[in-house]
Amino acid sequence: MGSLSIWHWLIVLAVVVVVFGTKKLRNAGGDLGAAIRSFKKGLNEGEDETGKLEDGQDKSESSRASKQQDSVKR
Report the percentage of the chain scoring pLDDT > 70: 62
Residue 15 has pLDDT above 70, yes or no: yes
- Average pLDDT value for residue range 22-36: 92
Q: What does the pLDDT read at residue 2?
A: 64
- Average pLDDT value for residue range 28-46: 92
Q: What does the pLDDT read at residue 14?
A: 93
- Average pLDDT value for residue range 11-39: 92
CA distance linking residue 7 with residue 11, whole number of Å: 6
**Which residues 6+ apart lie within 8 Å of 28 measured at CB?**
20
